[in-house]
A and B are shown apart, each in its own frame.
With several copies, the nearest count.
Chain A
């Protein structure tokens, strides 16, 4: 370990977008053989800084020094050639290509006449996955993988570059404990090999477990760099948000008398959801835990009519409902916040206001369909304030918001729609600590107001923190429902229980 030499130094980096001063003379440095965590609230500028380092954006001003030489990183290729690899926050995969084809894009092993050595390509990818200890078929089309597996493909791709510098922008946002553990093993190995790793995450516990130093940013400015080992998490958080974040534990209300809002009976869909039965009361938060690919998302989509179920009944407030499409579901008072905001949650080209209003437009229009923009503007600004969405104004296109702030816009959309039954699939994916506790408070408030809520989350602490009851799924089956205060071990046991016992 040559801990003293700086691999990379970024000095006084400034980046302006139209209407946004995203980076204000930020300093950052990275040493060989360290994991340097980059922290900050949503929209603080972390991804932007990393995009400057990987040749995607050019800083408005400032210097980037690599191995003591100032460099111009004008294209992604230029950065790659200098040994800088990046795992993007938003997945950037070619969905119609196979896993192996994605990983080696641009670096295909060639035979004569420009032919690709497909056998070697697949073998290399398989070897890569072996090293990562995950089983993904290199020949599977990427479009057939869940987000979590796609994320693993992204990681494999970044590793395949054998870079000296590896940037990981929220690599674990879509992963569950088991995969995170594998990833950390890989990171530790790379660190010991002298690779410099920049690690971005909103999961505070990970910072403790993996990082050596922590740099904190706020509102596009550099706040400070500290040693991870001897800095309490609370101090890092207050550096990030400029205040303390308190996090009170869940108190389970007595709901035994509450009306049943939603009953799902013997619901099945394809191979992913098998004979699921459960009920949900008004005012209740039901958490769904499970491993990656357990079928929680598929279950939610089936209830919501996005992928109509093959069999089973859905009863809402005692009435049988035929739900064949999301509009049926919303009409029945069911809302669903998707885990994949980019593909299923947002109209990226529209502005913040329009996205927030998307599910509730009818309510703000008169008989001839004229929209009351004035009222909508007021409402949008309310949500921007309550959810603390970082946007220059409510008419900014959503595509220009940071990942976490985009997520908040989707949440605002469903809050405004005000459904009786709300299904949140990974609601805090990519959301910073401060906002996370805001959202927890919000969900509690909603429940207190009598909403029935399902929260699907791959973060066990989150499920434990929020749920009044916890449903666990494995391979499309509901393997059990536990009370709120259940132990982690109990949940893990159910999550890996292949032979399903009947739930409840």
Chain B
């Protein structure tokens, strides 16, 4: 008797999850169709590629911070960390003349290290994530300026560096749709992290920590160590974001980055991940990042005045999350 009930509700849960993703996707489609109707220029291949390109950096950052948000934390340092990773890459590639691969490793390593530090502030020193990463945000912002002497580092001497983001492996195969590598990287990372979240121990503890950290601890799991690992992985992903932006600008711009964290977090929440932890998907985050990019680009293509762009963006963020809420309440 009870078993059958249990089953049906579990089924319900699963149906709910699929529905949710489909519906978030629906918001995206509604936006795309709306903009296409309003201005036929929106639907050009070149503009769609521009949107994807614009989503790539924010998307990668959002994927990184999704991990942390699922643990019930938050990371405000991702914007300036992205910049700091770009700067460190500039240092090894341009100043030290290291080969490209070293630059890639540096970006990811710097991100992971910084993530590890944030993680230990949170896990070991019990500093609330908001404050720990706010502090890290300021520290990393300052460090980028200090290391570069406040001047951008250009990658002109590293041929091929700009291809990391701007080149197109896909275009090599399908010339009609030259998806930039930056976008390819976004999707590869999304796939990878999605897999980690759903299939691996790290993923399991990410959800478990966000769901009930005390229970995880009482189960004899070294919760602190796992939390630090999760922050480090998130940092490494942000490092990839640093590579992407540096490659796109063919330079490391030391003052960039502040404010990017809020955009990334907005993408995560629009994608249905709960800020109270325990729940979230990478697919959702990806869709969230695309919604943000479509919105920004679409309003610009429609030549909406910039101050109105701000208002409309704010309103749509609220509406998108509200729609998500309604959806979720509907079955319960």
Contacts and interface: CB of A to CB of B under 8 A. Distances in A.
Q: Do chains A and B touch in the complex (CB under 8 A)?
A: yes
Interface of A: 17-21, 56, 75-77, 80-81, 88, 92-97, 101-102, 105-106, 108, 110, 113-116, 118, 135-137, 139-141, 144-145, 149, 157, 219, 271, 292-293, 304, 306, 325-327, 329-331, 335-336, 338, 343-350, 354, 357-359, 361-362, 365, 368-371, 373, 390, 392-393, 395-396, 413, 417, 475, 498
Nearest to B9: A19
A76 B218 contact: yes
Interface in B213-245: 214-223
Contacts of B1: 219, 475, 498
A18 B221 contact: no
Nearest to A157: B219
A292 B2 contact: yes
20 contacts: A18-B12, A18-B332, A93-B212, A113-B200, A116-B200, A135-B3, A137-B3, A137-B6, A327-B220, A330-B220, A335-B220, A344-B218, A347-B278, A359-B220, A361-B201, A369-B200, A370-B200, A393-B7, A417-B219, A475-B1
Interface centre among B6, B7, B201, by most chain A C-beta atoms within 10 angstroms, is: B6
Interface stretch (B58-66, B80-88, B203-211): B203-211
Contact of B221 (A81, A92, A358): A358
B303 interface: no
A11 B223 CA distance: 31
Contacts of B278: 94-96, 347, 349-350
A349 B3 CA distance: 23
B13 A18 contact: yes
Given A335-B220, A413-B219, A475-B1, A392 B204 contact: no
Contacts of B279: 96, 349
Contacts of B332: 17-18
Contacts of A20: 5, 9
Given A326-B217, A347-B215, A392-B10, A370 B199 contact: yes
Contacts of A108: 201, 204
B212 A115 contact: no
Interface string B299-328: 000000000000000000000000000000
Contacts of B212: 92-95, 343, 346-349
Contacts of A118: 199
B199 A358 contact: no
Interface residues of B, number: 37
B10 A92 contact: no
Contacts of A338: 218
Nearest to A51: B218
A393 B7 CA distance: 8
Contact of A392 (B9, B200, B202, B220): B9
B202 A343 contact: no
B12 A116 contact: no
A271 B211 contact: no
Interface centre among A75, A145, A219, A369, by most chain B C-beta atoms within 10 angstroms, is: A369
A145 B6 contact: yes
Contact of B200 (A306, A327, A354, A368): A368
